[in-house]
């Protein structure tokens, strides 16, 4: 057991800077993917809530379909398949797009659920009181929806962070690919993959805990409705 930890004492100074750099790429990749997911999801929800039936059906079908497809298949299709149509993306950007598309389907469900959780009387009352429609949305509906949406949104980010590990398979130098390269250099796969697991854990666990805390706090005084 002691020998196991001695390996870390000997090699950590060499490993640390490489893994930190890779962790930066992972954080960047998942954050960009999440930003894209938020934008696409907002668009999808606007389509779902529109009165124009084709848009509504398209958005719903898109959400259902993307949720049934593994991210890895999406990433490989984007990275290896798109060049056949003259669009070449680097592994990094194929990763951002793939994570964004996949994330959008999940985030859209969260946004939709959040907006639906606000009683329609709130909106009607605000309109009746003479507020312009955009203010009804930004000042009345959105703040109330936020308390339902925020915790699951954080969970979506954590999922995306973990899923970004699949970008290793399309040649993106993030944590997982760096770990693979290091494991074939040092022949210490157990040490390296446990360590890289700790890197993910160090980012994901605090966020998960924060999301749980937030869910408890924000649902105070509205105990009838559970938080998804």
54 versus 84: smaller Cβ distance to another protein: 84
CA distance linking residue 71 with residue 65, whole number of Å = 12
Helix, strand counts (H, E) of the chain: 9, 0
Q: From the CB of 190, what's the least distance to another protein, in Å?
A: 3
Binding site for another protein (CB under 8 A): 65, 67-74, 76-77, 80-81, 83-85, 158, 162-163, 165-166, 168-169, 176, 179-180, 183, 187-190, 193-194, 196-197, 200-201, 204-205, 208
Any idea of the CA torsion for 225, 39, 55, 49, to the nearest 10 degrees?
Answer: 30
81 versus 132: smaller Cβ distance to another protein: 81
63 versus 141: smaller Cβ distance to another protein: 63
CA distance linking residue 184 with residue 190, whole number of Å = 11
What tokens appear for 112 in the block?
Answer: 């939709």
146 versus 198: smaller Cβ distance to another protein: 198
Q: What are phi and psi of 52, to 5 degrees?
A: -85, 110
Q: From the CB of 71, what's the least distance to another protein, in Å?
A: 7
CA distance linking residue 167 with residue 173, whole number of Å = 8
Q: From the CB of 193, what's the least distance to another protein, in Å?
A: 4
Q: From the CB of 226, what's the least distance to another protein, in Å?
A: 9
86 versus 221: smaller Cβ distance to another protein: 86
Q: From the CB of 175, what's the least distance to another protein, in Å?
A: 8
Q: What are phi and psi of 50, to 5 degrees?
A: -75, 160
């Amino acid at each position: 057991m002691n020998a196991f930890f001695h390996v870390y004492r000997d090699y950590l100074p060499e490993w640390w800077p490489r893994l930190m750099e890779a962790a930066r790429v992972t954080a960047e990749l998942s954050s960009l993917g999440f930003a894209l997911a938020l934008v696409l999801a907002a668009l999808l929800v606007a389509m779902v809530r529109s009165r124009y039936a084709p848009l509504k059906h398209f958005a719903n079908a898109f959400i259902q379909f993307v949720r049934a497809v593994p991210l890895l298949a999406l990433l490989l299709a984007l990275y290896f398949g798109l060049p056949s149509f003259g669009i070449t993306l680097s592994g990094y950007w194929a990763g951002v797009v793939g994570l964004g598309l996949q994330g959008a389907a999940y985030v859209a469900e969260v946004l939709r659920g959040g907006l639906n959780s606000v009683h329609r009387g709130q909106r009607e009352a605000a309109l009746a009181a003479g507020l312009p429609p955009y203010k009804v949305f930004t000042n009345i509906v959105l703040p109330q929806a936020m308390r339902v949406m925020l915790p699951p949104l954080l969970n979506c980010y954590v999922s995306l962070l973990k899923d970004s590990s699949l970008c290793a398979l399309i040649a993106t130098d993030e944590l997982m690919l760096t770990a693979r390269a290091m494991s074939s250099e040092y022949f210490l796969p157990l040490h390296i993959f446990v360590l890289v697991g700790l890197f993910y854990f160090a980012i994901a666990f605090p966020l998960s805990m924060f999301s749980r805390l937030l869910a408890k706090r924000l649902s105070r005084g509205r105990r009838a409705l559970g938080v998804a």
